[in-house]
A = this chain, B = another copy of it.
Amino acid sequence: MTAARSRDRATWGTVREELRARGMRWTPQRRQILQVLAATDGHITGSELLERCRKLDPATTPSTVYRTLDVLEELGVIRHSHGLDGREEFHVQPVAEHGHLVCSSCGASREIDAAQAAPIARAFRRTHDFDIFLDHLTLAGRCAACRAAQAG
């Protein structure tokens, strides 16, 4: 984990106040989930998060973890996209908005930043009057290496 990629301490600390401001509660379970997320770089699935929480507290239950992920996404603290298998993958914030480009053959994954996605967003805005959510975008396809390997 690098400081550049994860929410800094001060930002994570505001979650408690963001919850209170909405009439929601700060519980030991939520504190622990946030602690694990703060130590996570990049992406994490619900079941991975559950597993890591259970290392700290084996009594952690699935429903609490999944419901907390929903709450945190409503607050904007995390966002999700989907892997090739369709499972949700959560991003900790405030990483720059980005999509993913994944090779169906080898699983290699690259991020698509806002600049790269801008032409696509503009095209659908113009032709369909539709705003694309880059954070939710996963493009599947075949990378150069896999295309070359199969070409023979």
User: Count of A residues near B, CB < 8 Å?
Assistant: 29
Q: Which chain B positions have C-beta within 8 A of A120?
A: 119-120, 123
Q: Which of A130-146 contact B (CB under 8 A)?
A: 130-133, 136-137, 139-144
Is the Cβ of B144 less than 8 Å from the Cβ of A129? yes
Smallest Cβ-Cβ distance to A82: which chain B residue: B86
Is the Cβ of B116 less than 8 Å from the Cβ of A130? no
A88 interface residue (CB < 8 Å to B): yes
Q: Which chain B positions have C-beta within 8 A of A129?
A: 143-144
Smallest Cβ-Cβ distance to A103: which chain B residue: B130
Q: Which chain B positions have C-beta within 8 A of A124?
A: 101, 139, 141
A2 interface residue (CB < 8 Å to B): no
Convert A80-112 into 0s and 1s, putting 1 for each residue whose CB lies closer than 8 angstroms to a CB of B: 001000111000000000000101100000100
Q: Which residues of A contact B (CB under 8 A)?
A: 82, 86-88, 101, 103-104, 110, 116, 119-120, 123-124, 127-133, 136-137, 139-144, 147
8 example contacts (A-B, Cβ-Cβ < 8 A) are as follows A82-B86, A86-B88, A101-B124, A101-B128, A116-B123, A120-B120, A130-B142, A131-B147
